[in-house]
Structure formats: structure tokens, C-alpha cells
């Protein structure tokens, strides 16, 4: 009799839990259906999937098998694959070599900088990289080199010559986020351009500084004081200049935007040549870019990057496309000796195989998600996140994701109930609003989720509010 009572009590508890979960998923479904009936989303593609990792079961889905443009969600795939292959302590190594002979303090030969695809080499955003040229110069002096009777060359042969994927949009290529990656990246392959508004509406805007210096045709004008900042750069890789168009509001004394660098490797060679000359090491020849190493050379020094743990955090939290593309091409190089988009894609698909994921639910052509030819289902995203949650590097990987209310980009994410946690990655471009990630509930159950919307008709702020309504419900599961 006592056994029967215990059994009935256990059954009652189980049914209560199931009933509670059903009520919560019903609420999620109600909110999702209400949102998808709104005129702003009526013609959009909208997909939601929530997977209970702890219990290995999908508890809610809508249009989970619909192909969606992932945008920056691709960075999750690229970063996890890099962790799996390289580990969190991996660093890029950039080598400075010399050819010829050192005679009486003069190098009768050339300097050769060999790139490893380091996305943050000489980046002006970090104090550590500000001193890169100083470290390289110190390495030369330690070798007894005080004059160079030769040239500064850069070897970029680790990656293919094509920095940008053919499917990237023309309007993206001239801007820093569309710079792509090459064998030797410099200053994140971007140019910092400062502007000052004209004296009255309609006046030309003045460019006050360009760093590093490149030719820019300026067609930016001065708008009314309530005008939104809008500057776009146009130009192709290896093209010598950029064109900028747009508007800056009246009264702006100084603002800056970043253009893509036309030829990063050559710019690095040129800047380093000038730096050496300025700091007491004359260089007789002019800089150049080669794609093969000389037959005989010796190492001067090695300059290392941040470790992969830091690079992944920067990739995720600042949406660094160049970092994602550098990792993507590096994976391709390690796979078959070709640092190109095709090899990077092959590596990623190998990784999906290792995780026992259905590759028919994903189409990847680049590492950052900038291409609109990328497609993935919401179900695949949640299954991928589930598989990664079971990997030994998971907590390092998860720590790189955005935390609710900690960064402006994630202001859409609500506060979560006490005892819960939420980690998020966004994927945003014109007409694309995706938020995916992990959360835990009061029972310490872990979930993966994907909320993806493509081709909506409303403004971004409205779409963010609608997605926030869904997230507020799913974190209650």
C-alpha cells in the first residue's frame, strides 16, 4: 500500500512538471504566433527553436527547418571549430626574417615579414599592438643591424590573394567590416578617417585626418542638426583609393568612420619602412609584397598575437569579421595547405561531421557571416550549441558570448530571473535580426535557443522589441 502511494505521488509530480512545461511552451507559442501575425513580420521569414540540452530534447519549435541567413551567427561555428583544432592558448606568430649578410652593421639584403593571418597585428585599438614596430626594430638592433641596403618585403602566401568572398555586397567592401583577411593583416585592414561638418547645411564635410594615409574622394555633405550620421565607403581590394558618400549633422566638430584598407600587406611594408628610416635605420629600397620566401634567410624575431581565448571574445563581442575570416582561412590552411574560402568551408563541414550534425541544414561560404549566400536552420543552430556544450572547451567558448545588459548591442536582451543565466550571440545585417545562445533555469537545466528573423518590414528597434518579448518567455521555461 505504501509503495502504491509513493508511486502515485511520483506520477503526480511528473505530470505536474510536464503540465508546467506545457503551460510555459504554450505561452511561448502564443507570443510567437501573435508576433508573426503583425504586419511588420507578415512577409518575413521567422524561426524559433528551443532545445533542452540537459534532457536532450527540443521543447519548442516553429519553422525550425526553414533556411535563414545567419549573419554573424556564423562566427559561432568558426570560433568553436578553431577552439577544437587549436585550443584556447593558441597564438598567431608573425616572423621577421632577413636575407643576405650583415657586414659592419649593414644588412646587404632584405627584410621579409611573413604573416600568419593574425587579425589584430598592429591594430591601433590595443596598447599592446601600438609597440609592434618598436619590438621589430629592437630585434634588428639586437642582430647588429643599423642600416639596410635592400628592401622591406611582406610574404602573404599563407592565404589566398583574394581577401573578400565573391558573394559579399559591393556596398560592404569599402568599409572596415568588409575588409576581408589576407596572409598579413595590418591595423585590422582598416583606415581611420576623421570628419568635420561644414558651416551650414549642404556644405561639403572636411576630412581632417586619414590614418594610415590613402587617397579618398570625399562626397560627404553637411546635414541638418537632427540628421543621423551616415557615411559609406566604396572601393575594391588592391584598388588605390576609396570613395566616401553620406551625410554628417551640422555642428559636428570631429567624428570618425573606418574604411577598408586597399592593400594591407603593402601598407604595412610601407609604414614599417618609414618607421625604420625615422628611427635611425636607413632603408635603401622601396617596400614590396611577395608571395614566396627567398631560398636563404635567417630569423630576426617572432611577434605573437593575443591567445585564442581573447581573439574569440573579440570576435564575438565586437563582431570582428576580419578575425572570423582569418580563423576560417587558417583552418583551411591547416586542413590541406590552402588558406582559402573553399578549404575553410571544407574544414567546417568536417567539424560538423565530427559533431554528428546534419550538414543538409547548413550552407556556409565564409567565416564571418557577411555573405548573404550563407543559410542555416534554427534547429541546426540549437543542435550545434548542444554539441559544443558537451566539448571540453565549452566554458571558455561560452564566456566569449554576450551577457544580458552588459553591452549596447545586447540591450534587446532582458534581465533574467534570479538563479538563471543567459549568454547570447547576435547576427545582424540589413533585414536580418537573429539572437541565439544558451540559458539556464532555476533547476540548473541548460537550454540552447535560436530566434531568427529575415526580411522584416519594420525598423530595427521594433524588431528588437518583438524578439525581446520572445526571450522573456523562453527564459521562464
Residue ranges covered by each domain of the chain = 21-87+309-474, 91-305
Decide: 406 and 413 in contact? Cβ < 8 Å.
no
Q: Residues 117-131: what's their mean pLDDT?
A: 83
Q: Which residue has the cell 522584416?
A: 456
C-alpha 463/C-alpha 54 separation (Å) is: 30
Quick one: what percent of the chain has pLDDT higher than 90? 73
Which pTM does this prediction carry? 0.90
pLDDT digits (tens, 9 = 90+) for 279-316: 999 999 999 987 566 667 899 999 999 999 999 999 98
Range of lowest pLDDT (149-153, 207-211, 402-406, 458-462): 402-406
Beta-carbon count within 10 A of 16 CB = 10
Q: What is the pLDDT of residue 78?
A: 97
Q: Looking at domain 21-87+309-474, what is its CATH homologous superfamily?
A: DD-peptidase/beta-lactamase superfamily (3.40.710.10)
Can you tell me the distance from the alpha carbon of 339 to that of 351, in angstroms, rounded to the nearest whole number? 17
How many other C-beta atoms lie within 10 A of the C-beta of residue 340? 17
Predicted pLDDT of residue 400? 85
174: its cell numbers = 569599402
Average pLDDT, the chain: 89
Cα 176 to Cα 188, 221, 228, 324, distances in angstroms: 8, 21, 20, 14
Answer for the pair 47, 63: CB distance below 8 angstroms, yes or no. yes
Question: What topology does CATH give the domain 91-305?
Answer: 3.50.80
In this structure, is the dihedral angle defined by the CA atoms of residues 396, 401, 405 and 409, taken in order, positive or negative? positive
Amino acid at each position: 500500500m505504501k509503495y502504491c502511494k509513493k508511486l502515485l505521488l511520483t506520477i503526480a509530480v511528473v505530470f505536474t512538471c510536464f503540465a508546467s512545461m506545457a503551460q510555459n511552451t504554450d505561452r511561448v507559442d502564443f507570443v510567437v504566433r501573435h508576433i508573426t501575425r503583425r504586419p511588420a513580420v507578415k512577409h518575413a521569414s521567422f524561426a524559433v527553436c528551443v532545445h533542452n540540452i540537459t534532457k536532450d530534447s527540443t521543447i519548442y519549435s516553429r519553422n525550425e527547418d526553414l533556411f535563414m541567413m545567419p549573419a554573424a551567427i556564423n562566427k559561432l561555428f568558426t570560433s568553436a571549430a578553431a577552439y577544437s583544432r587549436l585550443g584556447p592558448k593558441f597564438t598567431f606568430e608573425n616572423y621577421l626574417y632577413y636575407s643576405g649578410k650583415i657586414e659592419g652593421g649593414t644588412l646587404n639584403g632584405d627584410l621579409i615579414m611573413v604573416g600568419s593571418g593574425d587579425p589584430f597585428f598592429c591594430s591601433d585599438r590595443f596598447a599592446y599592438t601600438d609597440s609592434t614596430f618598436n619590438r621589430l626594430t629592437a630585434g634588428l638592433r639586437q642582430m647588429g643591424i643599423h642600416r639596410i641596403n635592400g628592401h622591406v618585403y611582406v610574404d602573404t602566401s599563407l592565404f589566398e590573394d583574394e581577401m573578400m568572398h565573391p558573394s559579399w555586397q559591393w556596398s560592404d567592401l569599402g568599409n572596415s567590416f568588409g575588409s576581408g583577411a589576407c596572409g598579413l593583416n595590418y591595423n585590422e585592414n582598416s583606415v581611420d578617417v576623421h570628419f568635420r561638418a561644414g558651416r551650414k547645411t549642404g556644405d561639403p564635410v572636411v576630412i581632417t585626418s586619414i590614418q594610415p594615409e590613402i587617397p579618398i574622394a570625399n562626397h560627404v555633405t553637411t546635414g541638418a542638426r537632427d540628421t543621423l550620421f551616415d557615411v559609406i565607403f566604396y572601393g575594391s581590394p588592391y584598388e588605390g583609393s576609396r570613395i566616401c558618400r553620406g551625410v554628417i549633422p551640422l555642428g559636428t566638430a570631429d567624428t570618425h568612420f573606418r574604411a577598408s584598407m586597399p592593400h594591407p600587406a603593402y601598407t604595412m611594408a610601407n609604414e614599417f619602412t618609414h618607421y625604420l628610416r625615422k628611427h635611425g635605420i636607413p632603408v635603401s629600397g622601396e617596400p614590396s609584397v611577395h608571395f614566396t620566401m627567398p631560398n636563404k634567410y635567417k630569423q630576426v624575431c617572432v611577434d605573437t598575437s593575443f591567445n585564442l581565448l581573447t581573439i574569440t571574445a573579440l570576435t564575438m563581442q565586437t563582431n570582428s569579421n576580419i578575425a572570423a575570416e582569418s580563423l576560417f582561412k587558417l583552418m583551411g590552411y591547416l586542413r590541406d595547405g590552402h588558406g582559402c574560402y573553399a578549404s575553410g568551408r571544407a574544414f567546417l563541414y568536417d567539424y560538423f561531421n565530427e559533431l554528428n550534425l546534419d550538414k543538409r541544414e547548413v550552407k556556409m561560404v565564409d567565416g564571418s557571416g557577411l555573405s548573404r549566400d550563407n543559410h542555416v536552420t534554427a534547429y541546426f543552430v540549437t543542435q550545434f550549441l548542444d554539441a559544443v556544450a558537451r566539448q571540453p572547451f565549452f566554458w571558455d567558448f561560452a564566456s566569449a558570448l554576450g551577457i544580458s545588459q552588459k553591452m549596447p548591442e545586447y540591450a534587446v536582451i532582458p534581465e533574467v530571473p534570479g538563479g538563471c543565466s543567459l549568454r547570447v550571440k547576435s547576427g545582424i545585417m540589413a533585414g536580418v535580426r537573429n539572437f541565439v545562445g544558451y540559458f539556464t533555469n532555476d533547476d540548473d537545466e541548460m537550454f540552447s535557443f535560436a530566434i531568427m528573423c529575415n526580411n522584416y518590414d519594420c525598423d530595427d528597434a521594433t524588431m528588437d522589441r518583438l524578439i525581446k518579448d520572445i526571450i522573456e518567455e523562453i527564459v521562464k521555461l
